[in-house]
Structures are given as structure tokens and as C-alpha cells.
Amino acid sequence: MFEDLRKSSFKSSTIFKVNVRLRESNPDAYTPKMVSIGPYHRKNAQLRPMKKYKLLYLQQFLQREEGLDVQTCIKMLEDKKEDLLMCYDDIEDVDTNEFCKMLLLDGCFVVEFIRERSEIYSKGEDKIINFVDYKYNQILRDLLLLENQLPFVVLKWLHLMTAKHGELPLEKLAITLFSHVVNLGYLSVDNFSCDLTYVEMKHLLKVVHIASCPKNFKKSLNNNDTKWNKVMSNATELSQAGVRFAKVNHTTSLFDIKFKHGLMTIPSLDVVDSTEILLRNFIAYEQQSIDLEYLYFSDYAIFMDQLIDSDKDVSLLRRKKIIATWIGEDKEVASLFNKIGNGVTVYSNFSYKKVFLKAAKHCFEKPWNRKMASLKHNYFSSPWVGASTMTAVILLILTAIQTILAIISAFKDKK
């Protein structure tokens, strides 16, 4: 056991099995449905039909460079196998020779699949998997699962070995591909804050994660405030307390949430079938990595979990065009956000600390806001209700005036 421990390195592990606390609320969100990439799911019998496609892509890869063969590629991978093995957090009973074959077969599948979607193939060459094929979207989903990753250095090496002159870096090809299917709305090559050659990419999921996170995003935090309220009222309660909601119209970040003068502004989010899977795998990557400064998706999940308790909250946000749902009823969206925060750890540099504090101050330290909101909700919730209220108020005033005048007249008659 000590010998096995010496062969591993906790700090160099970059591809993890999702921990139990995150997994238990939705195990399917972390499990491939069409294709296994890497060692964690390679023994899944349901995924074996994709092996023939992997072989076709390997064959296509070898044809890109004259004289390139399997043995040469395997030998190069074997020279780095110890470092590559340590990228994985938990692998049991590994045959290093089989491990290198797997890296080549799976690596060529990923690289050639991305190239094929980017229209990088010989004229007259048929696509192996067409984007109208039912397998296509499932593969895209599977390629962004944390447990379904290869060390990016392998993918980059395979790409550079066979790239034609002028071919874009694999990172940019991947982002362009996933920008069409990652329905978070803010994925962009422009979100890379520095030259790709100086960014240490651990795997494909990290590439997409970096491109999904804001560029030059600065948190406005007061780190000396250790007594911030970690619970925020839900959207319905906030609305009843006078908080107004609005969609952010011009932003490049999903995380650009602010609270000012009773107005909470939130970027819009399209909730589709793949939304939960993407969010969960981004969160799992953040929660189990030790070198990330900010946990954007984790903090976002906690914020949305606080904001949404029931279908009433979703309905309110949908009316404000902050949420657009394509997965069914509002209660399904509420269930998604209620569960997605399970097992997520909140740290002291939580992104929305000030939003929580300002919302609490607006609602509870200024009771006038709550009274005015209650008045508006109960008596001016619609034009008809408002008209009825105003009519009643006018009648009450006229009645009061009539009563006062009658009293004055009676008082004068007595004199």
C-alpha cells in the first residue's frame, strides 16, 4: 500500500470521480450515456458499441500524416505514462500498456470528432458522425463530464502532431464547437484572459469552464465581514418586501448579479435538458480542484438555490424574463435548483455576499419597504384591483367629508 501511495500524487490529480455528496442527488448527471473517454467508465458494457467509431476516427487520424502508425504513437505515450496516470485520482488494476492504448484510441476520437464538426477533413470524405445523427448530441454531452476526461496534454499533442498549416488551436476549435450547444449563453473564445500557450489546460472540461467564466471579473467583497447572512429570502418573499427584479440586458457573464436601490439585476438563463448536467459537472470540477481562485458556478448554484424555493419563485423570474424554461413546468425548474446546491461548500469569498447583505438590509432593516410592497401587492396588483381600491378610497373620503359637514351643520343649528 505504501508503494502504491508513492506512485500517486494528490496534487497532480486533475480528473476526479465525483464525490458522494455531489453525486447522490443525481448520479446520471455524471455518467456517460454514449461514449466512454478515459479509464473510469471504460468497462461499461452499454458504451461498447462506440468502439467501432473510435477505430474509424483512429484510422482517419493516422491517415493525416504519412508514415504515422499506432506503434509510434503508443511509444510516445508510454514515455509519459507515469505522469499521465497521476492525472487520475482513482484508478485500480491498471495495465499500463492497455492504459496507453486507451489514451490513443479515446484521444483520437475526441480530436477527430472536434475536427469533423469544425469542417476540417479531406474533400469528398464522408463524416463518420453527422450532426443530425442521434448520437451527436449525446456525445457532446458526454465529452463535458468530469469523469469522462483525458489529460489535455494528450489531446493537444495528438492535434499538433497532425495539424495542417493555419489550423486553429484545439482549444479554440473546442470552444467554437461547444458554444453552439452549451446553453448557458455566455461561452466565448474572448473569455480567455491570456494567450492559450500560457494557460495550463487540464482537460476539455476546464477549457470550456474557462471560456464560460467572466474575463477580468472583479468581486467586490468585504473580507473583514465574517458575520454575513448565509441565507437569503426567496424571490417571492423579496418581491413582497419591495425588491424589484430585472434581466441584465448587456452582459458577457452569467454571474453578473447585482443589487442596488431595491433592484436586483440577474442575467437571463435558458433552462434546457442539458443545463443541469453542465452546471453539475462545472460545480464538481470547482469543488474538487485545489487551484481555483473563484468558484463561479458553485456560488451561482448557491445563489439560485436561495432565490428559488418553489414554482412561484420560478414563475416570478420567468415573467421578468430572467429564466426561460424548455424542460416542462416551473416546479421542475424549482426542483433542479433546489437539488443542485446539495453538497456544495460555500467559502468566505462567496461571490454574492454583498447581494445577500443588501437584500437583507432592504427587507428587514427598512420595514417601510415591506409595508409599501404589501400595500402594492394587496391593493394595486392589477389595473382593475387598483381602480377598485382608488374608487373605495374616494368613496371613503367623500363619506368622511359628508359626515364632517353634517356634524358642522348640526353644531351650527344648535347655536
pLDDT in tens, 84-126: 998 998 787 778 889 999 999 999 999 999 999 888 766 667 7
According to DSSP, the residues that pair with 269 across neighbouring strands are 323
- Rounded Cα distance between 66 and 279, Å, is 42
Domain boundaries, the chain: 2-161, 235-371, 383-414
SS3 32: coil
Rg (CA), the chain: 29
Would you state the pLDDT for residue 403? 82
pLDDT of residue 7: 59
* Residue 377: per-residue pLDDT: 47
The vertex-199 CA angle with 194 and 205, nearest 5°, equals 110
pLDDT at 380: 46
Gap between the Cα atoms of 303 and 234, Å rounded: 10
In the predicted model, residues of the chain with pLDDT beneath 50 are: 193, 226, 368, 372-377, 379-381
Q: Nine-digit cell at 345?
A: 461548500
pLDDT of residue 302: 95
What are the DSSP E strand ranges found in 251-407?
A: 258-260, 263-266, 269-271, 323-325
Cell of 140: 457532446
The pTM score is 0.84
DSSP string, 128-184: SS-TTSHHHHHHHHHTT-GGG---HHHHHHHHHHHPPTTPPPHHHHHHHHHTTT-TT
Q: Are 4 and 56 in contact (CB under 8 A)?
A: no
Given this model, what pLDDT does residue 373 score?
A: 44
How many contiguous H segments (helices) and E segments (strands) does the chain have? Answer: 18, 5
